[in-house]
Structure 1
Amino acid sequence: MKKNIVSVDDAFNLLKELNAPVHLITHVKLVSEAAEEITEKLSNLGISLDYDFIRISIILHDIGKIIHISELNAPGHCHEEEGEKILLKLGVDTRIARCCLSHANYNKMICSTEELIVALADKLWKGKRDETLELMVIDEAAKELGRKRWDIYMDLDECFECVAAKGHERLSRSFK
């Protein structure tokens, strides 16, 4: 049974089919909000990305938490490999399934720019800044534009700060 996930609606429907907890659905919606701000800025800079891939991957990146429920509210890494297994078993695109791993292991894997953005949105949504990850995204954007890191650093750093600044408010909505 191959799941052809080509839209945000398809991704949310899959979560519902698998009886994803409400808290997980709320989480991916909040991460999606952060990602939209980031991708809007990148798009305005003229960065060419697979924005649908980013949106779908964000919705499914934590799908392994359906099995590892304790990781919804506590640290843990079992959900990452489990998520990839779930998606691969369902026949979901391997690139999307890989985001279950790469969103937490971006510093140990060679990742696409889109995967780095998924990881970054998953940090910034709650107000957590990660300089290493942010510089990876900035460097990928600079490379895409044929510019130097510092030519676009301020624009993207300001964007990341704005997203992170809303973290407290997003966190408060994550527990309602």
Structure 2
Amino acid sequence: MAAVPSSTLRRALTEHGGPDLPRLPERAELLLMDLDAPPRLGAHLRAVHGVARELADWVRRSYGGAEFDPDAVLFGAATHDIGKVLHPEELSGPGSAHELAGYQLLLEHGVTAELARFARTHATWTEAVGLEDLLVSLADKIWKGKRVPDLEHLVVRQLAAVGGEQPWQVFLALDDEFGRLAAGADRRLVFQSEYPIVT
């Protein structure tokens, strides 16, 4: 039997949070409500999802030759931390137990391995991962204004390869976009902090 989601979680998932906090994909929203996820997690996923949407839109506009699935990026951003339902202590402290737990939880709820992978890949990245994974990882950092040079260089390399530009040109364009996205970090942090970790 499905859990009855708390009214606080429902507000975190549906409350108007400004243009940079769109609602999650319906499947992700329903899954979070079914699991009665911590309200703070719902708010966090909306913040990361909003940034991922803007990043994916920017890549499509600026690097039309880049092959990636924007819907996968959005679903990945909307569920990347879902394992924190099982490890709520990682909502307020460090830990990586939620990564594999989230992947397995998504599989158990009928999500394909292709889409569930973001729960595992969002915190680690290598040159072998695709652009979708890198964009989810970037969104998970930029939502709060954090910059990670190694991650950014992997994205620059992939976009330079498809755009026919020098890496420094891609970096400058990406840097401008990051600056624009980071400007909303305080607002997103306030939105997230308005919701409790426990139901």
Paired position in structure 2 for 1:3? none
Paired position in structure 2 for 1:78? 97
| TM superposition score normalised by structure 1 | 0.90
| TM superposition score normalised by structure 2 | 0.80
Paired position in structure 1 for 2:48? 31
- Whichever residue aligns with residue 13 of structure 1, its letter is L
Q: Does 1:21 align with 2:38?
A: yes
The runs of 5 or more residues in structure 2 that have no matched partner are 1-23, 195-199
Aligned-partner SS, 2:116: helix
RMSD: 1.6
- Whichever residue aligns with residue 9 of structure 1, its letter is E
Contact 1:41 1:156 in 2 (8 A): no
Give 1:154 shift.
1.1
Deviation readout 1:90-126 (Å, 9 max, x if unpaired): 231112211111100114x721100000000000001
Contact 1:129 1:164 in 2 (8 A): no
Q: How many equivalent pairs are there? A: 169
Q: Which 10-residue stretch deviates more, 155-164 or 110-119?
A: 155-164
Deviation readout 1:127-155 (Å, 9 max, x if unpaired): 11111111111111111223321232211
Q: Which 10-residue stretch deviates more, 9-18 or 138-147?
A: 138-147
Give 1:37 shift.
2.0
Higher helix share: 1
Aligned-pair identity in percent equals 36
Q: Does 1:95 align with 2:95?
A: no
Matches within 5 A, 1:1-176: 8-45=25-62, 46=64, 47-107=66-126, 110-176=128-194
For residues 94 and 185 of structure 2, what CA distance do their matches in structure 1 show? 18
Q: Which 10-residue stretch deviates more, 49-58 or 162-171?
A: 162-171
For residues 49 and 110 of structure 2, what CA distance do their matches in structure 1 show? 23
For residues 71 and 117 of structure 2, what CA distance do their matches in structure 1 show? 15
For residues 13 and 32 of structure 1, what CA distance do their matches in structure 2 show? 15
Deviation readout 1:32-58 (Å, 9 max, x if unpaired): 121122122111112342110000111
For residues 137 and 86 of structure 1, what CA distance do their matches in structure 2 show? 28
Contact 1:11 1:60 in 2 (8 A): yes
For residues 137 and 68 of structure 1, what CA distance do their matches in structure 2 show? 30
The runs of 5 or more residues in structure 1 that have no matched partner are 1-6
